[in-house]
Amino acid sequence: MISFISSKIERRSMSTDNIKYFRKLQLFKRVFQPMIYLLDNTRVLPFMVPFVNWTMRKFKIKRQLQRDLNYRLIAKALKGRLNRAPKDGEKKILFPFFTSGDNIFLLINMLITFRLQNKGYRGVFIICDENLPICTNERINKTRKEDKFLCKNCYRPYHLYAKVIGAEFLKLSDFIEPNFIEEAKLKIEKCRTLEDCKNFSLQGVEVGHFAEKSVMRFFLTGKLVECEEHIRVYKKFLNSLAHISSGWSAIMEDINTNPELVILYNGTLSFESYIRAYCKQKEIDYITHETYVGQNSWIYKKNDEVMKLTWNEQWKEFNKKKLSEEQSIKAQDFIEGLRHGKQMYAKLNEPTPLETMVKKDVEFAVLFTNLNFDTAVLGRNPHFNSMEDWIIQVIDYWIKEQIALNLIIRIHPGEVKLITPSADFIGPKIRDRIKGVSNIILFDAMDKVDSYTLIENMKFGLIYSSTIGLEISYLNKLCLIAGDAFYKNEDFVSFPKDRTDYFAILKEMTSGTYPEKNEETKKNLLKFIYFIYFHRVKRLKGINMDHANHVNLFSFETIEELNTMNNEVFEEFEAEVLNK
């Protein structure tokens, strides 16, 4: 059996460092938000930005302001640029946007409106005016109770936008029917269990399923449990969905015609999922868009969730072409750069010699986890009930079948290394299950472990839906997928038909039977990497989205400048999304 070298890294429960930082950030907000609010209202803030940034650096707060607040700069760039008065024959594009008015994706939406208004389209923005009982901006430890300015900061920019830029903003509260809300509230109160909440319907639509992901995201967990707190928050999201349902239905009646297009930010969580379902039912085209890997990134998808990262038709066409040498080099540089944290929000692995992790000449396979609350995992379970269920079943299989090969379980280091602290930790949930099992070892998120060194020396890898499967394949190792990875159907990985097939393939792999990798497989992998990360992921100019430091730096003064910088990207966007 295996002999592992114990980690000497201090273990801390509940991601102590990140929890401390998060609490410090919340305290800083409570103290300085009112001051920033006052300085902004009196227009003194631009002169005080250097002092505010110096103070944040002094307190080691990983945030910085640019020369003014985002929404002020956006309003200045778009002043008078959008058509205020409707024109006959215009086609409507709706932008339901239930998040902060200084969000970069509102700027992107406004740029789209600016470009299309001279092509016969009119953009209409639908916003929340501090009306929803709970929203998807909230998280455990980041609610309206902890952040008194959360709703004000979200809605405040729209007052200025409506006044100076000329866009049409529809406030959700102006369209909500109070009687409908009261009736829905009474029905929601009758929900006693998670199952009641999940199966809850409004006007024949099973909104409970839409709310589930948002509740898991709120608690930063991959699995809800039957407890008062989870049910209470679930019911609040159901009430918010009642507001969305009532307001959206009334707006659509008021418009009195189907819009040409609906554009949604992200599109995965509860409110946008409801609108996607509505669009599907009414055969209305919609777009979902998000950021992905690296700074200034932008991805979009027509009539589906963009975060599925699947563009089957476009991939089919792209795959007909031969990858050039230059493209191949770009793909290799990208995938190799991930090892060193390039394009990522945080460096998650440090070079670590194998002998500090595993005794010499030991053979092993590695199971890599996702973040349990990642939207790549939430609700996307083709063969198992959840990622946690998959991990437990693999452990039980290893023990029951007395697999001779050693198994390392590598917990995602992002549980403790990302700025936002995790509230749901996989390690403690499985530690007791493997206690006394000599050939299964757990490397927790805080352990000094290098995933890439493990990949180079393992027999094969087991993943749920993490992008590390691409890196496993790049290093010519076999990767067996259990979840809904966006590359699961490609020939450089193995994806089973069902759960039974999964364990049949795993049995072959643990017996030493591996499908052979060849040069053609590697070429296909590089082509796919290039397609996703260079062909589909767009890089916007003029906006430096620094996620690590929570700062956006603008290098444009007017919307015309931003448009010129990104004309090629948006011409491609328009050709794709406006094509019937």
Query: Which stretch of DSSP H or E encloses residue 95?
Result: strand 91-97
What phi and psi values does residue 349 have, to the nearest 5 degrees?
A: -130, 140
Q: Are 273 and 296 within 8 A, CB to CB?
A: no
Query: For residue 53, is it within any domain?
Result: no
Domain co-membership, 292 together with 357: no
Query: For residue 561, is it within any domain?
Result: no
Check residues 31 and 205 and name the one with the higher pLDDT: 205
Query: For residue 564, is it within any domain?
Result: no
Domain co-membership, 138 together with 253: yes
Work out the average pLDDT over 133-158: 88
Domain co-membership, 290 together with 353: no
Work out the average pLDDT over 434-455: 86
Query: For residue 555, is it within any domain?
Result: no
CATH number of residue 109's parent domain: 3.40.50
Q: What is the DSSP letter of 4?
A: B
Q: Are 270 and 233 within 8 A, CB to CB?
A: no
Share of the chain above pLDDT 90, in %: 61
pLDDT for 279 equals 96
110-130 pLDDT tens trace: 999 999 998 999 999 999 999
Work out the average pLDDT over 251-276: 93
Distance CA 317, CA 101 (A): 38
pTM for the model stands at: 0.89
Res. 49 pLDDT band, cuts 50 70 90: confident
Res. 21: pLDDT tops 80: no
Work out the average pLDDT over 53-58: 86
Q: Are 574 and 115 within 8 A, CB to CB?
A: yes
Helix/strand/coil for 169: strand
What phi and psi values does residue 366 have, to the nearest 5 degrees?
A: -130, 135
- Overall number of domains in the chain: 2
What phi and psi values does residue 557 have, to the nearest 5 degrees?
A: -105, -35
- The boundaries of the domain holding residue 378 are 325-535
Domain co-membership, 285 together with 383: no
Distance CA 163, CA 80 (A): 9
515-528 pLDDT tens trace: 666 778 889 999 99
Q: Are 474 and 525 within 8 A, CB to CB?
A: yes
Query: For residue 347, is it within any domain?
Result: yes
Domain co-membership, 350 together with 203: no
Domain co-membership, 351 together with 430: yes
Res. 547 pLDDT band, cuts 50 70 90: low
Domain co-membership, 271 together with 346: no
Domain co-membership, 280 together with 331: no
Query: Which stretch of DSSP H or E encloses residue 168?
Result: strand 168-171
Res. 3: pLDDT tops 50: no
Total count of residues recorded for the chain: 580
Query: For residue 2, is it within any domain?
Result: no
CATH number of residue 440's parent domain: 3.40.50.2000
Distance CA 349, CA 176 (A): 49
68-94 pLDDT tens trace: 889 999 999 999 999 777 788 889 999
Domain co-membership, 339 together with 232: no
Domain co-membership, 389 together with 241: no
Domain co-membership, 291 together with 329: no
pLDDT for 2 equals 42
pLDDT for 424 equals 65
Provide the greatest CA pair distance for the chain: 77
Work out the average pLDDT over 90-109: 94
Which amino acid, residue 153? Answer: N
Domain co-membership, 278 together with 357: no
Query: For residue 529, is it within any domain?
Result: yes
Query: For residue 1, is it within any domain?
Result: no
